[in-house]
Every structure is written in C-alpha cells, then in structure tokens.
Amino acid sequence: DVKVTQSSRYLVKRTGEKVFLECVQDMDHENMFWYRQDPGLGLRLIYFSYDVKMKEKGDIPEGYSVSREKKERFSLILESASTNQTSMYLCASSLSGGGNTIYFGEGSWLTVV
C-alpha cells in the first residue's frame, strides 16, 4: 500500500514563527502536493511538485513556500505564520499521468495563536 506520512499531526505555533510541515512518501511517486482544507471551502491546492527541485504554485500559494530536495520528501514552509493560516494541511502524492490516483497523508492540524 501507498504510504504518505506527515510527521506532525497537531502543531501549535505563535504568530510570526517559521513553521515546517514535513511529508514523506514511500512509493517513488513523481508528484507531490500540499493542500489546505477549511470548512466550507473544501481542499485548495497550495503547491505541487512534479520532480525533485521542481515546483508550481497552486491556487493559494501566498504566505507559503515549499522544498523538494529528495524525491520522497516534500516540505511546506510558512515563513511567518499568521492566524489565518490556522487550518488542516494535507500532503499527497501520485505517479505522473492524468489517470493516476492521488494518495493522501493523515493531515496536520496547525493552530497559529
């Protein structure tokens, strides 16, 4: 089975802190994604990566950056956390190609106080 592991399930950070959310997948997938989930808004794509060191902005990239130095690892960075970034963050991965399934991690609940 595909496993996407998000290292932190629950985090509480202070406004202005730099926050790292880490994600690792074990299936040699080319694509990795970071989504944000908020009630009533569904899932919104923050960034995705289709190869090592490659990234593309999604629908809501403002206030976020990403890093993909190794194929299996995709990090989401909040340079200066703000309270409006309190949310559930979901990492996902897939093989390249339109018909391939995207597999999700368990999510990271981030609260910024």
Partner 1 sequence: AQSVAQPEDQVNVAEGNPLTVKCTYSVSGNPYLFWYVQYPNRGLQFLLKYITGDNLVKGSYGFEAEFNKSQTSFHLKKPSALVSDSALYFCAVRERPGYSTLTFGKGTMLLVSP
* Angle of CA points 29, 96, 101, to nearest 5°: 80
Q: How near is the Cβ of 14 to partner 1 at its closest, in Å?
A: 23
- Binding flags for partner 1, 69-98, as an x/- string (CB under 8 A): ---------------------x-x-x-xxx
Contact 15, 113 (CB under 8 A): yes
| Contacting partner 1 within 35-74 (CB under 8 A) | 35, 40-45, 48, 50, 58
| CA-wise closest residue to 10 among 112, 80, 113, 110 | 110
> Which residues have CB under 8 Å from 99's CB, separation 6+?
none
List of residues contacting partner 1 (CB under 8 A): 4, 31, 33, 35, 40-45, 48, 50, 58, 90, 92, 94, 96-99, 101-107, 109
